[in-house]
Amino acid sequence: MKTITGKVTYQQLATGFWGIIDDSGQEWRPVNMPEQLKKEGKRVSVTIKEVDEMSIFMWGTPVRIVSFST
């Protein structure tokens, strides 16, 4: 697990999905984005765990959010 800080973004690819771009520019694609975080441009700090997942979305590293703060 690791903790990242960044901004929430909504990607209009395919059916659309929420992601996080951390302060270093790395793209993360949560598979369980909490409703409280679904706001474009919101600054967040999240603890994540990488997951092994196949997806139609060719964007970001798939992760599970373990905890978060805003």
Within its chain, how far is the Cα of 23 from the centroid?
Answer: 13
What average pLDDT score do residues 46-60 get? 88
Q: State the pLDDT at residue 57.
A: 75
Domain residue limits at 63: 2-69
- Which pLDDT tens digit goes with each residue over 1-35? 999 999 999 999 878 999 999 999 999 999 999 99
pLDDT higher than threshold 80 for residue 55: no
What CATH number has the domain bearing residue 55? 2.40.50.500
User: What are the Cα distances from residue 56, in Å, to 26, 45, 68?
Assistant: 19, 26, 26
Q: State the pLDDT at residue 21.
A: 99
Q: State the pLDDT at residue 7.
A: 98
Looking at the 3D structure of the chain, how many domains does it have?
Answer: 1
The model carries a pTM of: 0.91
